Chains A and B, each alone.
Chain A
Amino acid sequence: QVQLVESGGGLVKPGGSLRLSCEASGFTLRDYYMHWIRQTPGKGLEWISSIDGLARGIDYVGSVKGRFTISRDNAKNTLYLDMNSLRDEDTAVYYCASGGPDVGGAYWPFQQWGRGTLVTVSS
């Protein structure tokens, strides 16, 4: 059974840092593009970052560039999101999702989603 499970969310002060993890089971993470997407009541769903199977291709939405870093450990079948210089507006539920195949799958729908982890940035 394909499953993605996020962890690492919590309450953090503005300017603080947090590392999110996404553990995959039932499939080989290395074979897929992976994404982080967040959801807030105000801004809806927002794609924030993607990474290909061997971490050769990485992309970010402009609002998190220079603050967030996506990475993966294929041996552990785990995706990460390191978040620094957090702001109030980063408060959201963060989802990891699988995309297309590592070869030719950069532009593909988000087919498997985790249940999300809540990040709250507040003083």
Chain B
Amino acid sequence: DIVMTQSPDSLAVSLGERATINCKSSRSLLYSANNNNYLAWYQQKPGQPPKVLIYWASTRESGVPDRFSGSGSGTDFTLTISSLQAEDVGVYYCQQYYGGPFTFGQGTKLEI
């Protein structure tokens, strides 16, 4: 199974400041035939299901604010929130869909 490891486990950032969450996979998520990284980022707020923010490592889902961005390739990925807003508080997960079983990182709790 592909193991996904996020860092840090929790993060406190001031309003308007940048937040950075890292995700490392135990094997490359880059599929050479199409040059896509099979990596997604989700945000989960209390009492709600996860919501996809970023997929193919850097493609923003429709309706997601442009302060959210994803980067990285292969085994190392980053989710960046450029200017933290109060509504961004929650838990963030990375997930690989390169191969089954599809696996998630343990989550990063983002607080203000």
Contact = CB atoms under 8 A, between A and B. Distances in A.
A116 interface: yes
Contact of B100 (A59, A97, A115): A59
A107 B98 contact: yes
A6 to B, nearest CB: 10
Given A45-B93, A113-B50, A107 B99 contact: yes
Contacts of B61: 111
Contacts, number: 50
A47 B100 CA distance: 9
A114 B48 CA distance: 9
A13 B82 CA distance: 48
Nearest to B38: A107
User: Which of A50, A95, A107 neighbours the largest number of chain B CB atoms within 10 Å of its CB?
Assistant: A107
Contacts of B77: none
Interface string A81-123: 0000000000000010100000000011111011110000000
A109 B106 contact: no
B101 A45 contact: no
A62 B101 contact: yes
Contacts of B95: 45, 109-110
Contacts of B49: 95, 97, 113-116
Given A109-B95, A109-B97, A110-B40, A47 B52 contact: no
